């Protein structure tokens, strides 16, 4: 009876998580969480990351996840961080954070939900390609990042940098104005029109078009 009560309380603890993921994935994710000894905390969105995994000297393992309306991004991030937990518990030493062990574990954990009952077809194609050699962040794969952003709630009229013409102007960050110049390998060289400094931008950086002709 005590064991059943403990199991029930642990299950209830994760109920909030299930509100953020696609319904067909809930039973699978629930099974993983109940078999894990990890705390999960939902936090306000961070610009630099979607989630992270932390381990403490007292043995506590904590996963933090950004609250988001994009259930597909949330699910991928959750499995990404759970893969870190699984690798950590395997006691493999001298491994890279996103090395071979993590990549294999991430792929293995994703496989049962890698289907069109959980993910839309176009997203599934890009996600499958990404999982062949997953990066530290899903944002690093242009195709996957573009598909995932389709399911973000748009609070403003932002566009991808790649979709505006060369030599046009755009706002980024705290309304700084930049000029888009030529592409250097995978990134665009852009100039801050106030300071004159040049910066490299990802083609999927989200920017606002700037229409003030006085900048030219």
Residue by residue, DSSP assigns 138-156 as: GGGSHHHHHHHHTTS---S
Do 107 and 170 lie in a common domain?
no
Range of the domain at 122: 2-149
Q: How high is the pLDDT of residue 152?
A: 83
Do 182 and 84 lie in a common domain?
no
Do 120 and 200 lie in a common domain?
no
Do 83 and 164 lie in a common domain?
no
Do 121 and 166 lie in a common domain?
no
Largest Cα–Cα separation, the chain: 74
Would 154 be classed as within a structural domain? no
Do 145 and 196 lie in a common domain?
no
Do 166 and 118 lie in a common domain?
no
Q: How high is the pLDDT of residue 1?
A: 40
Choosing from 149, 182, 201, the residue where a domain stops is 149
Q: How high is the pLDDT of residue 11?
A: 54
Torsion sign across C-alpha atoms 174, 158, 47, 41: positive
Question: What is the chain's pLDDT, residue by residue, as a tens digit (216 residues)?
Answer: 434 444 444 555 788 899 899 999 999 999 999 999 899 999 998 888 999 999 888 878 999 999 988 999 999 999 999 999 999 988 766 678 899 999 999 999 999 999 999 999 999 999 999 999 998 888 889 899 999 988 886 656 788 899 898 988 898 987 788 999 999 988 999 999 888 999 999 998 988 887 554 455
Do 24 and 76 lie in a common domain?
yes
- What CATH number does residue 211 fall under? 2.30.30
Looking at the 3D structure of the chain, how many domains does it have? 2
For 34, the 3-state DSSP assignment is helix
Q: How high is the pLDDT of residue 185?
A: 86
Q: How high is the pLDDT of residue 212?
A: 53
Would 126 be classed as within a structural domain? yes
Phi, psi (5° rounding) for residue 184? -115, 105
Do 119 and 195 lie in a common domain?
no
Q: How high is the pLDDT of residue 206?
A: 87
Q: How high is the pLDDT of residue 163?
A: 87
Q: Compute and round to an integer the Cα radius of gyration of the chain.
A: 20
Do 137 and 177 lie in a common domain?
no
């Amino acid at each position: 009876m005590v064991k059943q009560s403990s199991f029930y309380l642990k299950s209830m603890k994760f109920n909030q998580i299930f509100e953020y993921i696609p319904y067909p994935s809930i039973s699978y994710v629930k099974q993983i969480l109940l078999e894990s000894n990890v705390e999960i905390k939902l936090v306000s969105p961070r610009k630099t990351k979607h989630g992270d995994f932390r381990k403490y000297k007292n043995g506590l393992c904590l996963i933090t996840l950004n609250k988001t309306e994009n259930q597909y991004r949330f699910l991928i991030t959750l499995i990404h961080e759970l893969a870190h937990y699984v690798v950590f518990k395997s006691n493999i030493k001298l491994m890279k954070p996103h090395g071979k062990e993590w990549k294999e574990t991430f792929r293995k954990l994703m496989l049962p939900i890698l289907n069109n009952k959980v993910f839309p077809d176009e997203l599934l194609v890009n996600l499958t390609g990404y999982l062949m050699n997953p990066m530290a962040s899903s944002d690093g794969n242009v195709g996957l990042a573009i598909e995932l952003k389709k399911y973000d709630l748009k609070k403003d009229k932002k566009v991808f940098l790649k979709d505006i013409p060369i030599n046009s102007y755009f706002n980024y960050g705290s309304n700084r104005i930049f000029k888009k110049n030529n592409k250097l390998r995978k990134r665009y060289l852009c100039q801050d029109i106030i300071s004159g400094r040049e910066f490299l931008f990802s083609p999927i950086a989200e920017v606002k078009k700037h229409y003030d002709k006085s900048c030219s």
